[in-house]
Amino acid sequence: MIIGSRRPVPFFLIVLLGVLLTSCSPTSHYVVTEGSTKRLPPKNARVAVWGLRPVVTSTVTEWLRERGYAVIEPAELQRLFDQQNVRVARSFADEQQALRAAKELKAELVIVTQSALGTTVVDSTATTTAATPFPGTVPTTFSSASVALRGFEVASGELVLSGTAKYPQQLAAAGQATLAVLTCKALETAWGVTPAGEQASSPDEPCVPGN
């Protein structure tokens, strides 16, 4: 009796299967958060928000407004910087500038945000199949994302709260909605709403304003 030998499964099919399983399973993604809370601003406090990506700063703005804070948006800080001919990078490098502007705008707290959205392309060797009639390499794209925020008490300049959120695993795709979820998770950790650690995540995350 002739025993047929098993043909090895092409690597790109293994990668593709992993991507499909990851993207189809609603429970396969989870967020890891870190943060600390020393003091929270009082209700109705004026809070300035600063950062590069509009999806992050707008999520912070709406999240704070839903909790009764009076928010000074990044555009107001930028207007002040423009008037004073101050060049800014819209990142943690601007913390001192953001503190100074927040003080002039009569804010009690300023939140500075920073985010990262990256893409990695992995090439895997493909064999000749109906889908890939010519052998060679097949690029597979993975995404990574993270959000960090730091809150400073304007009067003292002291760091009073912080939060970070990221996906520890590579994603099949990440975009604006991904950053909104991470921003929400970072805020909840910074405010002490949820403890730091691993948290389940979904695109329709209820903590995101508007969901």
User: SS3 sequence, the chain?
Assistant: CCCCCCCCCCHHHHHHHHHHHHHHCCCCCEEEEEEEECCCCCCCCEEEEECCCHHHHHHHHHHHHHCCCEEECHHHHHHHHHHCCCCCCCCHHHHHHHHHHHHHCCCCEEEEEEEEEEEEEEEEEECCCCCCCCCEEEEEEEEEEEEEEEEEECCCCCEEEEEEEECCCCECCCCHHHHHHHHHHHHHHHCCCCCCEEEECCCCCCCCCCC
pTM equals 0.75
Region 193-199 average pLDDT: 93
Instruction: Report residue 32's pLDDT band, with 50, 70 and 90 as the boundaries.
Output: very high
Give the residue extent of every domain in the chain.
36-115+145-163+176-200
Please check the confidence at residue 2 and state whether its pLDDT lies above 70. Answer: no
Mean pLDDT of the chain: 81
> Regarding predicted confidence, which is higher, 116 or 158?
158
Q: Which fold has domain 36-115+145-163+176-200?
A: Rossmann fold (3.40.50)
Region 86-92 average pLDDT: 85
